[in-house]
């Protein structure tokens, strides 16, 4: 079987701290061993693993698909969707969506985005309705087929050919019922369906360890007979052959995962270029001018009540400023100074400075450190 015959589009890593056991390097290694050339990482409301995943995958010759499992809140509750980045625009939109989720008021159900926010930031993203926890799946299980159809048509009108629905066969109660209902709906509405396995661990024998992690997250006990078991032994990284055998009656569902993989082509440029922060400055003043002005003002404040040779300090300050400006680090210094000053104003303990930072007169002038490097003979 060709390596490109199936792509896992729903995998979680240890960055989904309540669920998955998978470490990113091991995921890529296992994908290679399984003979697959692409994989998606879709952590819960998180892109924290994106850079690590991207670097490891590229270095290993595996095509990385970056996405996330996103919780969406609406008037009747919550549902989940998988969002996959097609390009840089999609990545920026997904990053903004997740940031908005953590800035929203967090209720007992945790962080989520609204349907309006999802629609606003849908460009460059492929949306896959999850097999069990999507709005469509929940409506189908509740025998609300008409509402499910209306909802699916609504998403299709927004995402156009970037909207998919997923099904799974993970030996869980509602899997088979939902599979047939979803396929029937997809055929009726011309919405493509993909096969998924909702990967939580790499090998089948890791199921018990995964359950232990779930218990820790829930504060439950493994031997509690009343404990809800939301996962199954089947949620490991199946090979393409295993998935083909599992969906032998619906091979097109596997082909659709490959088509999605072909459509996702996000390339990070951040490893070729340094991106430094930009500090907002007063109107009409460049960041360089503002940085020099603040540094000189800060030094004057520091020396105001001290008897020292000011020429030594001014000469050292000018030297440091020239180096920092040449390296384009002025924004970095100003931002660090800003949050250190804020912390001190709020009574939050801040250390006097450590390591090479304590050797900077500019850092001392901007109140980042509290150590006079000239007095203590420290090198910049």
Q: For residue range 322-380, list pLDDT tens digits in order.
A: 999 998 889 999 999 999 999 999 999 988 887 788 899 999 999 999 999 999 899 88
195 & 54 share domain: yes
Judge whether 279 lies within some domain: no
274 Rama sector, left if φ>0, alpha if ψ -120 to 50, beta otherwise: beta
302 & 200 share domain: no
Q: Which of 203, 228, 263 is the last residue of a domain?
A: 263
32 & 171 share domain: yes
206 & 104 share domain: yes
77 & 167 share domain: yes
233 & 315 share domain: no
pLDDT band at 40 (very low <50, low <70, confident <90, very high): very high
Instruction: Compute the average pLDDT of residues 52-68.
Output: 96
pTM value is 0.76
Residue 209, SS3? helix
Judge whether 278 lies within some domain: no
Range of the domain at 91: 24-263
pLDDT of residue 75: 75
Judge whether 372 lies within some domain: no
58 Rama sector, left if φ>0, alpha if ψ -120 to 50, beta otherwise: alpha
CATH for 209:
3.20.20.140
155 & 293 share domain: no
Q: Which of 248, 263, 278 is the last residue of a domain?
A: 263
Q: Give me the long-range contacts of 318-327 (CB less than 8 A, separation at least 24).
A: 319/380, 320/360, 320/361, 320/362, 320/380, 321/291, 321/292, 321/295, 321/362, 323/380, 324/291, 324/362, 325/288, 325/291, 325/292
310 & 259 share domain: no
Task: Name the burial class of residue 274, with classes exposed (0-12), middle (13-18) and buried (19+) by CB atoms within 10 angstroms of its CB.
Answer: exposed
202, pLDDT greater than 50: yes
Judge whether 273 lies within some domain: no
122 & 225 share domain: yes
pLDDT of residue 104: 74
310 & 236 share domain: no
Q: Which of 228, 263, 298 is the last residue of a domain?
A: 263
Instruction: Compute the average pLDDT of residues 44-70.
Output: 95
């Amino acid at each position: 079987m060709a390596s490109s015959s199936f792509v896992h589009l729903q995998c979680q890593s240890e960055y989904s701290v309540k669920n998955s056991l998978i470490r990113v390097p091991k995921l890529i290694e296992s994908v290679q061993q399984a003979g697959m050339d692409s994989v998606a990482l879709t952590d819960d409301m998180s892109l924290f693993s994106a850079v690590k995943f991207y670097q490891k995958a590229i270095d290993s010759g595996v095509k990385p698909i970056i996405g996330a499992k996103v919780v969406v809140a609406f008037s009747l509750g919550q549902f989940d969707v998988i969002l996959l980045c097609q390009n840089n625009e999609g990545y920026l939109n997904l990053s903004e969506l997740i940031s908005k989720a953590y800035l929203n008021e967090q209720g007992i159900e945790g962080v989520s985005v609204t349907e309006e926010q999802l629609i606003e930031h849908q460009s460059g993203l492929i949306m896959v309705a999850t097999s069990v926890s999507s709005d469509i799946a929940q409506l189908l299980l509740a025998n609300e087929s008409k509402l499910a159809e209306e909802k699916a048509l609504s998403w299709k009108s927004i995402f156009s050919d970037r909207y998919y629905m997923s099904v799974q066969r993970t030996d869980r109660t509602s899997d088979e019922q939902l599979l047939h209902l979803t396929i029937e709906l997809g055929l009726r509405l011309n919405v493509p369906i993909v096969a998924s396995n909702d990967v939580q661990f790499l090998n089948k024998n890791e199921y018990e360890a995964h359950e232990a992690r779930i218990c820790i997250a829930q504060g439950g006990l493994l031997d509690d007979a009343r404990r809800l078991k939301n996962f199954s032994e089947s949620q490991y990284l199946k090979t393409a052959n295993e998935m083909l055998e599992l969906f032998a009656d619906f091979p097109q569902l596997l082909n659709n995962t490959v088509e999605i993989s072909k459509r996702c082509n996000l390339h990070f440029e951040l490893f070729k270029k340094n991106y430094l922060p930009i500090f907002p400055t007063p109107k009409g003043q460049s960041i360089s001018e503002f940085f020099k002005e603040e540094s000189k003002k800060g030094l004057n404040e520091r020396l105001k009540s001290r008897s020292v040779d000011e020429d030594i300090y001014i000469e050292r300050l000018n030297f440091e400023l020239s180096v920092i400006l040449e390296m384009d680090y002025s924004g970095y210094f100003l931002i660090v100074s800003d949050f250190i000053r804020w912390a001190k104003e709020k009574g939050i303990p801040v250390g006097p400075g450590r390591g090479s930072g304590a050797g900077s007169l500019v850092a001392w002038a901007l109140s980042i450190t509290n150590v006079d490097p000239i007095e203590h003979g420290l090198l910049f």
